[in-house]
Amino acid sequence: MPTRLVARAVRGIEDLVADEVHSRGVGRVAHIGHREIQFTAADPAAALTALRTADDVLLLVARVPDIGDTKADLERLRRGLRSRLPATQARRFLAIRRRLGGADPRPGIDVSASFLGRRNFGRFDIEDAVGGYLEAVLGMAYHSRRSGARPPSGTCSWRVTLDGGSATIGLRVSGRPSHRRGYKRASVPGSLHPPLAAAMVRLAGIRAGDTVVDPCCGAGTLLVETGLAVPGSGLVGVDWDAAALRAARENAGPLSARWLLADAAALPLAAASAHHVLVNPPWGRQAPAHGALAGCPQRLWAQARRVLRPGGRLVALLHDEDQVRGAMRDGFTVEHVRSVRVSGALATIAVLR
């Protein structure tokens, strides 16, 4: 019998996660919602680790009606859980979790929650309502986040989302969410969220044998995600900061890549030498621009156009429409633009030729 799963996603790339579910053959999509993709999988163990664009993939435990916006409505959530998730059902999902490799949650359980819309309660109220219920029916200690303390290592993590129509309850199998990549041993300010990097790789349409350049590579996330998604691609990372390149080398591990210490405004690469340029430029938010790029950001687009082959594709994470227009002034045409949320702020993924 297929297992129901729910994938969590960065806002704005839900369709890419759903497409990855389909293209990797790991399941059948049943519902696409706000930051959630619900699907069924014949092989849930494979599905739990296959989706590089997903923030997290969890067992879909239950869906109950959304509860409203007052604290008194939290009792409706508990009633919904008693109806849809009685003790026998909750224990059954813990057994499924163990079969899929989940560790014995000796320290107990934790709950994380999020919701859409204005409510007269906060996430901790939702977490404590669900956590208190699970503690009672499972006989396992619940560790609340309300005081600011992190749950102890090894707890069993449950996830609750309220989207205005329903409340979805999920159960994580592994000890950490999917977006915490095992390769990410080193970081630098402005490092890109790995599932967002994976989404940019999918939008680029990279094939084995293609050369991919990141002129502001930082800790190498875009290129590592490229190498893992498209084995046989050529990876070239450029950064002005030697410390960033050391972090990129450490994260890349055995992946074959060239790491070049240089200014993104003067790339040490031959003209028409790349099939794709993928970049998360330093626009002065989490990381400032340096070198010649700091004085003239437009030079990034000129360099990208110079190193790209005719018909080559540029995929960039940008923060306003002026930056897209800047690329167009240097001869790029827009193929695809989408809005996403990065750390709560609006941003744009632009795919340009």
Domain count, the chain: 2
Domain presence at residue 29: yes
Alpha carbon 280 to its chain centroid, in Å, reads: 15
Alpha carbon 109 to its chain centroid, in Å, reads: 24
For residues 165 and 66, membership in a common domain is answered with: yes
Residue 134: Cβ within 10 Å count: 24
For residues 200 and 131, membership in a common domain is answered with: no
Task: Check residue 240 and give its pLDDT.
Answer: 94
Domain presence at residue 218: yes
Task: Check residue 153 and give its pLDDT.
Answer: 92
For residues 127 and 249, membership in a common domain is answered with: no
Domain presence at residue 14: yes
pLDDT tens column, 53-75: 999 999 999 999 999 999 999 99
Range of the domain at 71: 3-171
End position of a domain, from candidates 139, 171, 203: 171
For residues 220 and 78, membership in a common domain is answered with: no
| Residue whose C-alpha is closest to residue 46's, from 30, 33, 57 | 57
pLDDT tens column, 187-232: 998 899 999 999 999 999 999 999 999 999 999 999 999 999 999 9
Give the pLDDT mean for 275-293: 80
| Residue whose C-alpha is closest to residue 193's, from 302, 349, 308 | 349
**Banded model confidence at residue 284, pLDDT cuts 50, 70, 90:** low
End position of a domain, from candidates 132, 156, 171: 171
**Banded model confidence at residue 291, pLDDT cuts 50, 70, 90:** confident
- CA pair distance 21, 43, nearest whole angstrom: 12
**Banded model confidence at residue 344, pLDDT cuts 50, 70, 90:** confident
Domain presence at residue 180: no
Domain presence at residue 43: yes
Domain presence at residue 128: yes
Percent of the chain with pLDDT over 70: 99
Average pLDDT value for the chain: 94
For residues 155 and 202, membership in a common domain is answered with: no
For residues 146 and 243, membership in a common domain is answered with: no
For residues 113 and 159, membership in a common domain is answered with: yes
Q: Is pLDDT of 285 > 70?
A: no
Percent of the chain with pLDDT over 90: 87
For residues 200 and 317, membership in a common domain is answered with: yes
Domain presence at residue 189: no
**Banded model confidence at residue 104, pLDDT cuts 50, 70, 90:** confident
- CA pair distance 223, 233, nearest whole angstrom: 10
Give the pLDDT mean for 4-14: 97
For residues 201 and 139, membership in a common domain is answered with: no
Q: Is pLDDT of 288 > 90?
A: no
Burial 107-128 (b: 16+ CB within 10 A, else e): ebbbbbbebeeebebebbbbbb
End position of a domain, from candidates 122, 140, 171: 171
For residues 125 and 199, membership in a common domain is answered with: no
pLDDT tens column, 238-249: 999 999 999 999
For residues 157 and 229, membership in a common domain is answered with: no
Q: Exposed, middle or buried by CB within 10 Å (0-12, 13-18, 19+), for 270?
A: exposed
For residues 42 and 153, membership in a common domain is answered with: yes
Edge-to-edge order in the sheet of strand 3-8: 28-33, 36-41, 3-8, 56-65, 166-171, 156-162, 109-115
Element (H, E) at 249: helix 242-252
Q: Report if pTM > 0.85.
A: yes
Long-range contacts: 24-27, Cβ < 8 Å, 24+? 24/50, 24/51, 26/50, 26/51, 27/2
What's the CA angle centered on 217, arms 212 and 223, to 5 degrees? 40
Which sign does the torsion angle of CA 118, 123, 124, 128 carry? positive
Domain presence at residue 181: no
Give the pLDDT mean for 100-113: 93
Domain containing 23 — which CATH number? 3.30.2130.30
Q: Is pLDDT of 289 > 90?
A: no
What's the CA angle centered on 105, arms 96 and 134, to 5 degrees? 75
pLDDT tens column, 319-332: 878 888 889 998 99
Domain containing 321 — which CATH number? 3.40.50.150
